[in-house]
A and B are shown apart, each in its own frame.
Chain A
């Protein structure tokens, strides 16, 4: 699993929420922006990417658009976790290739509700 957020505190909260939700994480990688995330994916394989939108250097939407160019990550599902919660942002993210969308602030139950279907391939 790869967690992409420019806030290290938020990366820890996301990871903790996933554990609280009982989701099997495997090895967890972290990145502070889209460029760092692409670098991680060039070296590692992950089963799920959780990604913020507002980040410096490369934001989450651009990262999702770049993802098909990364050989071993093109089919990895991405779920956005962001404060940008408007309908337009959701549509933008899903159009760019994201498979789910979680608004901050969130609960562990909300994380579970959005992540499990994605992991099960139901979305």
Chain B
């Protein structure tokens, strides 16, 4: 597995993190779903991205990673992971939560010196779009847009400190 880690996870080293985040997601989709993600030409509009998976980071790096996609994309992700044609709502939430968890874990493992001191929460999944998410302390946000079978997928990393 590729590792492009930087020796510095202080704010000054975070200029490399967007490509690392994209690589982390690419690897998860490639290895676990057999699918290649494409970079979105521009950051997709989040309207219609009705499934949000969240994983908290605590310790030497604090923040929140979110992965947002449409309900159709989430269902397709679940089907690909399960190797079946359909999935239940519970399996959909489970699958999208696990994908976010793997992207977060894969990302932090690429940052040299970060893995041991940074813990991940178990994932939380929200369905629907009528909500606002507010991180009480948010010093830095890294956001990337990708395309999964042509449909938008937005991954965001909100960092404290």
Name A's B-contacting residues (CB within 8 A).
6-10, 12-13, 16, 54-56, 82-89, 103-107
Q: How far is the CB of A40 from chain B (nearest CB, A)?
A: 20
13 pairs from A and B in contact (CB 8 Å cutoff): A7-B101, A8-B91, A10-B94, A13-B81, A13-B82, A54-B101, A54-B122, A55-B122, A86-B108, A86-B114, A86-B115, A87-B116, A104-B106
The B interface, classified by DSSP as helix, strand, loop or mixed, is helix
If the complex has contacts A86-B115, A105-B31, are A9 and B82 also in contact, measured as CB distance less than 8 A?
yes
Q: Which listed residue (A9, A54, A86, A106) contacts B116, Cβ 8 A?
A: A86
Mask: chain B, 104-116; 1 = CB below 8 Å from A; 0 = not: 1110110000111
Name B's A-contacting residues (CB within 8 A).
1, 27-28, 30-32, 78, 81-83, 90-91, 94-95, 97-98, 101-102, 104-106, 108-109, 114-116, 120-122
If the complex has contacts A83-B101, A88-B116, are A56 and B82 also in contact, measured as CB distance less than 8 A?
no
CB of A85 within 8 A of CB of B115, answer: yes
Q: Which listed residue (B27, B91, B121) contacts A105, Cβ 8 A?
A: B27
Kindly list chain B residues whose C-beta atoms are within 8 Å of the C-beta of A12: 81-83
Q: How far is the CB of B159 from chain A (nearest CB, A)?
A: 18
A86 CA to B122 CA, complexed, in Å: 17
If the complex has contacts A10-B98, A56-B122, A85-B105, are A106 and B31 also in contact, measured as CB distance less than 8 A?
yes
